[in-house]
């Protein structure tokens, strides 16, 4: 049964990574309107999560790990709001480089990957049940 238990660990690591991804996405969406307080300050910079396939020495299987949570280096869009404390001389305020559409698409993908991992666990479980059923 060694092989199938490994399967469960691998899928669980995949689900955990997708969970972490959802957390980062939620952070991005929640901060989509977090502006700076001063004209010199920066508004919220979008976060990007990356995964890697890593050997787990303890279990002897390759699992997915969160490699890094980086900041999106893209430029901040500007909005004309002359009365805002963070507005510059011309009256423009830097707004976060979060695009809700991109975040939503990313979220759908995370959800889909999570579901796929869940399905694999279900399939593996049924296979284990089948093997155990031989005893009956």
What span, in angstroms and rounded, lies between the C-alpha atoms of 67 and 44?
22
The CB-of-94 to other proteins minimum distance in angstroms stands at 28
Find out whether 29 and 100 touch, Cβ atoms under 8 Å. Answer: yes
DSSP states along 5-33: HHHHHHHHHHHHHHHHHHHHHHHHHHTTT
Token digits of residue 4:
């199938």
Find out whether 114 and 134 touch, Cβ atoms under 8 Å. Answer: no
The CB-of-6 to other proteins minimum distance in angstroms stands at 5
> Segment contacting other proteins (CB under 8 A): 16-24, 32-40, 72-80, 83-91?
16-24
Site string for other proteins, 52-81 (x = CB under 8 A): xx-------xxxx-----------------
Residues of the shown chain interacting with other proteins in the complex, contacts defined by CB under 8 A: 1, 3-4, 6-7, 10-11, 13-14, 17-18, 21, 50-53, 61-64, 109-110, 112-113, 116-117, 119-120, 123-124, 126-127, 130-131, 133-134
């Amino acid at each position: 049964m060694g092989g199938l238990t490994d399967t469960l660990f691998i899928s669980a690591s995949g689900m955990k990574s997708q969970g972490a991804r959802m957390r980062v996405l939620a952070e991005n969406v929640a901060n989509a309107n977090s502006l700076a307080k001063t004209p010199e300050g920066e508004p919220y910079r979008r976060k990007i999560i990356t995964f890697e396939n890593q050997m787990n020495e303890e279990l002897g299987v390759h699992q997915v790990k969160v490699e890094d949570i980086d900041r999106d280096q893209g430029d901040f869009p500007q909005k004309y709001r002359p009365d805002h404390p963070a507005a510059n001389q011309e009256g423009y305020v830097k707004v976060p480089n979060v695009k809700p559409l991109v975040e939503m698409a990313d979220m759908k993908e995370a959800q889909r990957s999570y579901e796929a991992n869940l399905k694999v666990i279900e399939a593996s479980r049924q296979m284990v049940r089948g093997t155990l059923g031989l005893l009956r």
